[in-house]
Chains A and B, each alone.
Chain A
Amino acid sequence: MKVLVAVKRVVDYNVKVRPKSDGTGVDLNNVKMAINPFCEIAIEEAVRLKEKGVVTEIVAVSIGAKVSQEQIRTALALGADRGILVETDVEVQPLAIAKLLKAVCDKEQPQMVILGKQAIDGDNNQTGQMLAALTGMSQGTFASEVVVDGDSVTVTREVDSGSQVVKLSLPAVITTDLRLNEPRYASLPNIMKAKKKPMDVMTPEELGVDVTPRVTTLKVEPPAERQAGIKVADVAELVDKLKNEAKVI
């Protein structure tokens, strides 16, 4: 079966970003960019399913500026077969991303779409669920285990109370949680090979999707600073402070 994997270009997870001083946006000058960690897990899962013989083709899709090609190349180096870039320079919000992915699904007819549960820039955690709604597909969000069995897939989901197992009919949308797998590193030969894999480029207009934002960011600001704390010398001082100063125990 064919699997579509959605990969987003985001600020590297080690970078602590800051708002610009005028509050108009986040300072992304000279910041290291990377594939969203959850999307890396999504690619890895697709590749493992291919290695098991369940999946025959993996298509990596990204929506964003031309530079997002880098993240598609990473996905190709990790084992995706071909890439699709939906190129746009404007900020595209989750509902519109989901509509674009639906348009790609209409063309590609995948049996499964794997996304990250969350992009670590906007922390939205929505796109997979929205895509599932628009396509009428079932959804296995926050997945820590994915087992394909004929025309259904059994997904273990990480939920607040522990874990939940659901059985979904295919086609289905899966969103990945951190424990689903540990992504491999791309080998040098695979990075070289990825350069020759096909990548289609299309635009939102060609896909017939209106990407007008529904939500406007009025301003961004840093979170409230915490008051500087103190170091205590020993456990006795700690207990004293907690009892008599902070009065929390």
Chain B
Amino acid sequence: MSILILAEHDNASIKGATLNTVAAAKAIGGDIVVLVAGEACSAAAEAAAKIDGVSKVLVADNAAYGHQLAENVSLLVAELGKDFSHILAPASTSGKNTLPRAAALLDVAQISEIISVESADTFKRPIYAGNVIATVQSSDAIKVITVRTTAFDAVSAEGGSATVEAVASAHDAGTSSYVREEVAKSDRPELTAASIVVSGGRGMQNGDNFAMLYSLADKLGAAVGASRAAVDAGFVPNDMQVGQTGKIVAPDLYIAIGISGAIQHLAGMKDSKVIVAINKDEDAPIFQVADYGLVADLFNAVPELDSSL
């Protein structure tokens, strides 16, 4: 078996999600090849070559892949992927954008967000907002899979010594172009990689009140997340949304503040190791998944918690 992994990177470095994806590939077993498609991405390729367990890195360094547009990268993945038994990418917005497109070009199914590898063709994945876990078996010759990164412990970024090989083929579909990006800048850890996450919901009342959570998060070295209600109400940007249709997190500690615990929110955080809920409604469903529940007004409890740390 041989596995091609589409790396998550920003040309300069490899994103952590790639390390979790390599872990899933190791669980499948076989030769692991990482594809770095980008522009001026040799630094990312060198970093990929050091990842534990990777035998080869393919670098497609071309302007057509500069912003990793799905129209172009999927053509590359479909071309190279023909020689592999599996093609994997993290279930990030970029993996989700490109991999189904590549799968369709190869005329095979794509299996989304696997949480475990049962065998080389059988995997578990959550459906219905995580209320059901399905065990699915693929009959396709090439298995194209996105990986829920929180379900696989990252392999080491160091210790490997893969060969690096340039790929000459440049696919430019010519149908799309990159205009700009607005990247939310923050000194806090990345939401999906943080070991502590503090999240606020509609109970926060407005964006200004999130300052309380930022302060708390900074004391804990935590990332800050939010419910969709908080995003919808414009308290915080969309990239903070945790849930079925937002980001999936599984930190050591998740603190839900002023969040009721709708199915869709729970889908994104209920695999956290320890869950704390602060809510003034003692019947809020969030308490059903909380290890420690505090029934209190958050406007009293959060400042008190902050000052006692």
Contacts and interface: CB of A to CB of B under 8 A. Distances in A.
B247 A160 contact: yes
B163 to A, nearest CB: 30
Interface residues of B, number: 89
Interface in A200-220: 214-220
Interface in B250-265: 252-253, 263-264
A248 interface: yes
B26 interface: no
Given A17-B132, A221-B132, A230 B291 contact: yes
A141 B70 contact: yes
Q: Is the interface of A mostly helix, strand, loop or mixed?
A: mixed
Contact of B238 (A134, A139, A179, A232): A179
A166 B173 CA distance: 14
Contact of A139 (B101, B103, B274): B101
A142 B173 CA distance: 20
Q: Which of A159, A169, A236 has the most CB of B within 10 A?
A: A159
A166 B135 contact: no
A165 B93 CA distance: 14
B184 interface: yes
A214 B228 contact: no
A122 interface: yes
B291 A229 contact: yes
B253 A94 contact: no
7 contacts: A93-B109, A129-B100, A139-B97, A216-B139, A220-B133, A226-B275, A229-B293
Contact of A246 (B107, B220, B253, B293): B253
B101 A214 contact: no
B108 interface: yes
Contact of B294 (A93, A214, A238): A238
B301 A235 contact: yes
Which 6 A-B pairs rank lowest in CB-CB distance, beginning with the nearest? A133-B104, A126-B100, A130-B104, A129-B100, A138-B175, A214-B109
Contacts of A157: 93
Given A162-B181, A162-B237, A235-B294, A219 B135 contact: yes
B97 A166 contact: no
B181 A161 contact: yes
Interface string A134-153: 10111101101000000000
